[in-house]
Structures are given as C-alpha cells and as structure tokens.
Amino acid sequence: MADAQTATQAPNVTRREDYNEPDWRVPEIALDLDLDPAATRVRTTLWVERGGVHDRPLRLDGDGLTALSVKVDGAETMDWHMDGPNLVVPLSGSAHTIETEVEIAPERNTQLQGLYASSGMLCTQCEAEGFRRITFFPDRPDVLSRYKVKLTADKTRFPVLLANGDPIAQGELDGGKHWAEWHDPFLKPSYLFALVAGDLVANRGTFTTMSGREVQLGIWVRAPDLAKTDHALHALKLSMAWDEKVYGREYDLDVFNIVAVDDFNFGAMENKGLNVFNSRYILADPDTATDYDYDAIAAVVAHEYFHNWSGNRVTCRDWFQLSLKEGFTVFRDQSFSADQGSAAVKRIEDVRGLRASQFPEDAGPLAHPVRPDEYIEISNFYTATIYNKGAEVIRMMATILGPEKFRAATDLYFDRFDGTAATCEDFVQCMEQAGGVDLTQFRRWYSQAGTPRVSATLAQEGGRARLSLRQLVPPTPGQPVKEPMVLPLKLKLFGGFTGRPMCDEQLILLKEDAQELLFENLSETPVLSINRGFSAPIVVETNRTAKDLAFLSAHDDDPFARYEAMQQLMLDTLVTSVTNGGTDHAAVIEAVRNTLTDSALDRAFVAEAVLLPSDSFIGDQMAVVEPEAIFRAREALRADLGKALEAEWRAAYEGSLANRFEYSPSAKGARRLKTVSLGYIAASGAADADQLAFDQFSLADNMTDRQGGLTTLVNGASPLREEALEAFYQRYQGNGLVLDKWFQAQALSTREDTAEMVERLVAHRDFTLSNPNRARSLIGAFSVNQRAFHDVSGRGYRFVADQLIALDKLNPQTAAKLIPPLGRWKRFDEARAAKMRAELERIVATPGLSKDMFEQASKSLD
C-alpha cells in the first residue's frame, strides 16, 4: 500500500532549534578533479580540526558516492564506515589530514545538482547540498574553508577550465590533456564552490574599483552566443559601481567570471568569483530578447554580484537563515533596478510579482515563515516567501530606520560578520544598534507566516476625521494563533473637493490589534491614501467608494498609490460582476480614460495602470474561485474598455510606434503601452485588430513587439494565428530560449482549447522535460493559466500531475517547484478540489518519489 511505503521511508525533518556547531572544522581543502563526462575522478584532501571538546568521529556528507580510497595523515586506512550515504571516519587527535577518492559520472546527472553536463560543457551547482554529490565533505554553510582546485581535462573538448578565485598555474599533459589550478583566498562554504570546463569564449571587460584595483571581467558563452553578451557585461559594471556608491562594498578578487549554461534549475548562482547563470539571464539581443528579458538580465546579474557581500563574505549559519542572504540581496537588486529607470514602475512590478506568487503561498498549505522552523528538503525553501517577502522585511526596516541609519546598520553588519556565517538575528541586532530602535516586536516578521490584513475605516465628524485601523494575521499551517505585527504604514489625506493634500505624508507604526488616529481642522471631506509605496506587504481593506478610488487614481501624488487605487477600483468592479453579474463598468472606463489621456504621465506607468488585475488575483479576492465566471467578467470589462475608449487606444498605439529599437526607459515604456493598447483594440472586436497584431508581429525590429503581436493573436481565433505561430517557429528554430517563448505563448493562451493544445505540444519534437526552461515554459506556464488549468473536466490537473511524475524521475528540484498550483485546491469548489486532491494523492503514492516531491505534495494535501 502506498501509505505503508511512504510511512516506512518517511524522510527526515531538519529543525532549526536542533542547530549545533560543527564537530569538525575544515580550514583548508584541496580538490583535484580529472574531468570526464562519463567518469570524473575526484581526489580531495581535507585539513580537519576538532571543534571543541568531544570524541565524535568525522562525518562527511555524501550523496551517491562510493569511497574508492580513504587516507588519514597520508596512510591508507580501513578504519571508516558508511552511515547511509555518509562517510564516517574515527579520528584520535585534534587535527588530521584526510584524503578521499571517488568517481562520478556528470553526463548521467539529470538532477543538475553537483557536477553535470550541459550542451557539451561540464559545470556545477552546489547550493544548497550539491557539493556532497562531488566529494565527501561536511556540506553545511557554517564550515568555511580555503579552496585550492586543480582541474585536468581533454584540451580539445574542454579548452577552458574555470574555478573560484584567481588562476594560479596551468600546463599541458601527454595524451591531449591540460590542467589549470585556481586558488580562492577567501573562506567559503561548500555551497559556493564552482567549476566550469568547456569550449567557451569570453566577452571581456575591466572594472576599476573604488580603491583603484583593476578587475578582469569575463562573460563566458559558446562562440555563437558571444554577440549576445554586451548587455550582461554592461549590467555587471553598473552593479559593481552601484554597490560601491550605495553600500560602500568593493569587489575583492582580481577576476570575476560569469558562465551561461542552458540547463539550469533556477536563475543563477553566486559562486565566489565564478557565477553560473541560466543562459536566459545572460543572452540578449533585440531580435531574441524582450524588454522584460533585458530588465531581468540586469536584475539577476546585479543580484548575483551583490551576493559577493550579502551571501559570500557574510554567509548563512544554517539554511534556516536563507533569507538573511536572499531577502537582503533581492532588496538590493530591487533598489539597483529602481535606480536605473522608473522607481515607481519597478515598485509596481515588484508588488505585482509578490501578489502573484508570495501572497498565494502565504495563504496556502506551503506557507512558512521568512525564517522557517523545519524542512524535509531545503531546496523546497527557495521560495517567494524567503526571497520576496524577505526583501519586504528588509525594506520595512530600511523605512523605519531611514536611509542614513540603514546604511550605518548595513556597514556595521558587513564589518562585524565579514568572513563568518551569520543569522537573521545578527542582522536585526545591527539594525537595532545602528538605528537606535527596538525591533523586538518587529521580529515577528521572521517567525510568523501569513499575510497580515488591515482594515482602515475613515469616518468624518464635522471638521474632524477618525481613522480606525485593525490588523489581523490569519492562521497558517502549524501557527493557529498569531500575535500582532509591526506594520509601517505611509499615509496621507487629500481633499475630495479641491484635490489638495491635507497633510504631509506620515509614517505610522501599527503595532496593536486596533489603533485610532484623529485628524483635526479639516476644511473638506478627506480621501485616504494608505500603504503608499506599498510600505508594508499586507492586504488593506478600506471603506473608500468607487468615487474615492477614481479620484486617487487621477490625483494621488504617490505613483504607487495611484496605481493601487485604479487596481482596487478594477478589482471591486470585477468581483461584483463575478458574484452578482454586475456590468456597470462606467467608473473603470472613466478612470482608465483619465490615466490614458494624461500626457504628463510616463508611458510605462500608464501601461501598468490600465492593465486589469489577472484572473488569479481576482480569484484570490473570492471565497471560492470561479475560473470561468472570472474569465468572462474580465473579458467583458476588457471588451467594454476596448470599445468605449477605442479612439484613445488607437491614439496611444500610434503615439507609441517607436521608430528603431532602443533600450531606454522611454522606448521601453512606449513598447509596453503599444502592446497593452493592441490588446484592448483586439478586445473591442475591431475588424482590423488581427491584421494590426499580425503587422506588428511581422514588421517588428525587436522581440518585445514581435511577442506582443504573437500573444495577442494566440489568444484569438484569426487564421493569422497559425500563420504567426508557424513563422515564429521557422524563424527561431534552433534557438532554445526563443522556442521557450513559443511554447509559453501557447500555454498561456486564454482560448478555450488551450488544455488540448498543450497536451499536443508535449509530443512536439522540440519539447523535452530534461531542460528545465522548456519544462517550465510549457508545464509551468500552463499550470498558472487559471482558465485552462482549472478546466472543469480535470484534464489540466491530470496532465500536470502526469508530467510532474515523469519530471521527478529526472529532476526532483524542478518538478517539486511546480506543485503549488495543484496545492491550491481549498480555494476551489468541491468538484475541482476533489480532482486536484486525487492528483496530489496519486503523486504521493508514486513509487520512488523524491523527497522534494514528497514534501511538497504531501504538505499540499493537508
């Protein structure tokens, strides 16, 4: 029976409160790898020291390794044993030299963790626990070592040999082989180890640091991709300069290399001096990359570079502290991107992302605190909560401290913990000390899961107004009862008649369950602007009318609040339509008209503001999600907006026809508004809409416009749809990253037959589960297409479960990441919920299921 089977193999739970310091330290390690895709020899020397007074043996983590030889202090020994996958060596003294030898087969490594092969090259991914798949080692982030690495390989197949740190020596060997030696002078945990071997070329550059040292930069790719690396190199230089200017952080090695690989489980990895990237976050030219891609490349390059300080120089004591480096580093990359263009649009995009992925996570079965208390498989905790809510937590502390004290606090943190493995608590203490604030209650942001909800009611009594605030933190798995949080709320009042601000912006800290604020001497009826800039990552409910929201969407002086007012107005309208069939769209139409025709506004902002909330976000507002009704209500509003404002959309469309491709904030904004307008023109049912989309598609000189034309057609029924899909496919055959867009466009289609089409695409000759980007472009995209995935027949659920079961056998990490859409069953009607549960049960009962999938699927059933 399935239950018996999983019960007997129930995977171990790791708990934060069980943390102990390492029994043995490893101040130095030498690795000697004879690289070969079929059989790589790894000879490792560890200099180990007993930590404290104890008589426990040396335990080295391993995963799928067989020890071919073990030496202690130079002599071969038989005095060792395996404990499951791990190697245990009894040692008598306080310091020894341990040598081990293993053989691994990178070409058979489909998990893409440890050492693996991708498009003819060999590369590594060690975070979180991949180093133990290469050699026996205490594979935990608080064991910090100095690394010496020697790589030997066939010179023709692997002319380039890279590792962390600085290149020390290289040479030729008989039999067509060569070798290279790299030393990393900085202490680092094993998860930051990396090597790359391949036939690669580099786009080279230099950067002179603030103290005048010259750093050699290299973006390494296969020769045909070299022309697509300028943007990444430029972004790297901008990031290096930005971290000096904003955080006073200088780069510390003589070289900084980035390698792009095609098969990668996530975005990129910050290995010391040798970042390894998913090629989608490096390669760009106007013909193949969208503006979104360009922005994402700059953000990820910055993110990984910033980890050199927030992650590498100061690392994490244990994996429960993951947000210490990830939340902080996301906050840093978000601030960097905000400084490169429109900060308001960047904030809107980040909040939209948080609402699309983190809020649902926080409201579902996989909810966990920013600093989790336990895990089965740490890979499952590289989540939107750790990364994006973690970034919001740092942002709130920055808001509370103000810029100068926040900078003093990060200086203190980097100074105090340089070269060590730290905790979230260490970080907060630096904030308290340098900021002169007490963050005792604020710490609940690290320990309590769930998105706080605030209700804000403004009541006028003559010349006074009373603002009543109440907060509620909903129960989450394992945390039925919550304490009130500290919520930094930026707010302001506007005169509903004159439109004038009635006070300066205030920052209030809501700390109690309920609090009241009094405003005196008001000369007119006030309208409340609250959580401006999204100062707290919460849900706010107000008693504002449609008129108030329309007013704020036109007059608020905080661009985020303006966007937010429009979104709320749209949401209220849509939720009313879904629940009572209401079709009064007049208020939304007028508000959109005002924004669209306001020539003082940035085009990029307008494009964001006039977009309707997504199907899933509308669903998140409802007690029971009704996918078809939501889809119909949203389409009806889109059609009305399209028709009522057809002239305005056409004017915006024409006005945004940029001449030649240029990557600048204003050109990007124009392209964005162009495709958004095209979408509304199509929604209006205009006779020429398909041709307009097809012309945009075929005449485009850049991928943003081409993709915009294509996705508009893909949602429709025109014969031009097939023509465009075919032309796109022919043009980009052989370009994997662009074919991902082709699969994704079809998986995200709002058409009724999408499930059927996606089932057919799995058999397409370019589809494969073994490339994570491709798997995500079809299976991942389909499962967030609310209408198609939740087809009442249940075929979408069955299809995704089948694919995930197959993917788990190859790549558990990537498969487990795709479980959450199935885990949202509680939000749907009984019939759908039963079907979703049945698929999760089928997954849990699959023989040989990975612990990654076991954890995600079994928790999703609770």
Chain residues in the site for Zn ion (CB under 5 A): 326, 329
**Total Cβ atoms within 10 A of residue 701:** 12
H/E segment holding residue 424: helix 424-435
Provide the terminal-to-terminal Cα distance of the chain, rounded to the nearest Å. 20
CB of 2 to Zn ion, least distance (A): 36
Phi and psi based region of residue 422 (left: phi greater than 0; alpha: psi -120 to 50; beta: remaining):
beta
C-alpha span between 137 and 144 (Å, rounded)? 11
Residue 329 or 811 with smaller CB distance to Zn ion: 329
C-alpha span between 600 and 726 (Å, rounded)? 41
CB of 381 to Zn ion, least distance (A): 13
CB of 854 to Zn ion, least distance (A): 25
Q: Are 559 and 598 in contact (CB under 8 A)?
A: no
Residue 104 or 302 with smaller CB distance to Zn ion: 302
CB of 378 to Zn ion, least distance (A): 14
Residue 271 or 529 with smaller CB distance to Zn ion: 271
Please state whether the peptide bond connecting residue 128 to the residue before it is cis, i.e. omega within 30 degrees of 0. Answer: yes
C-alpha span between 792 and 810 (Å, rounded)? 30
CB of 548 to Zn ion, least distance (A): 40
CB of 326 to Zn ion, least distance (A): 5
Residue 327 or 642 with smaller CB distance to Zn ion: 327
CB of 457 to Zn ion, least distance (A): 40
**DSSP one-letter code for 203:** E
Residues 6 or more apart from 151 whose CB is under 8 A from it? Answer: 33, 35, 161, 163, 179, 180, 181, 182, 195, 197
Task: Judge whether 99 counts as a catalytic residue.
Answer: no
CB of 859 to Zn ion, least distance (A): 24
The two structure tokens encoding residue 328:
């902080």
C-alpha span between 519 and 204 (Å, rounded)? 60
Residue 128 or 467 with smaller CB distance to Zn ion: 128
CB of 192 to Zn ion, least distance (A): 12
Residue 322 or 788 with smaller CB distance to Zn ion: 322
CB of 624 to Zn ion, least distance (A): 36
Nearest to 267 by CA among 251, 279, 249, 285: 279
Nearest to 603 by CA among 699, 668, 550, 547: 668
Nearest to 282 by CA among 226, 204, 338, 224: 226
**DSSP one-letter code for 12:** P
C-alpha span between 533 and 225 (Å, rounded)? 39
Residue 262 or 326 with smaller CB distance to Zn ion: 326
CB of 683 to Zn ion, least distance (A): 38
**Which residue stretches of 556-614 are H helix?**
559-580, 586-596, 603-609
Residue 329 or 577 with smaller CB distance to Zn ion: 329
C-alpha span between 177 and 196 (Å, rounded)? 16
User: Rounded to whole angstroms, what are the CA distances from 596 to 553, 603, 645, 681?
Assistant: 11, 9, 9, 14
**Total Cβ atoms within 10 A of residue 607:** 24
The two structure tokens encoding residue 809:
């056998």
C-alpha span between 845 and 2 (Å, rounded)? 5
**Total Cβ atoms within 10 A of residue 199:** 14
Residue 133 or 332 with smaller CB distance to Zn ion: 332
Residues 6 or more apart from 731 whose CB is under 8 A from it? Answer: none
**Could you give the 3-state DSSP secondary structure of residue 185?**
strand
Residue 423 or 746 with smaller CB distance to Zn ion: 423
Q: Are 77 and 17 in contact (CB under 8 A)?
A: no
Which candidate in 129, 304, 326, 564 is catalytic?
304
Residue 322 or 606 with smaller CB distance to Zn ion: 322
The distance between the two most distant Cα atoms of the chain, rounded to a whole number of Å, is 93
The two structure tokens encoding residue 577:
């339509």
- What is 139-157 written as a DSSP string? -STT--EEEEEEEEEETTT
- What is 759-786 written as a DSSP string? HHHTTSTT--SSSHHHHIIIIIHHHT-H
Catalytic residue numbers, as ranges? 304
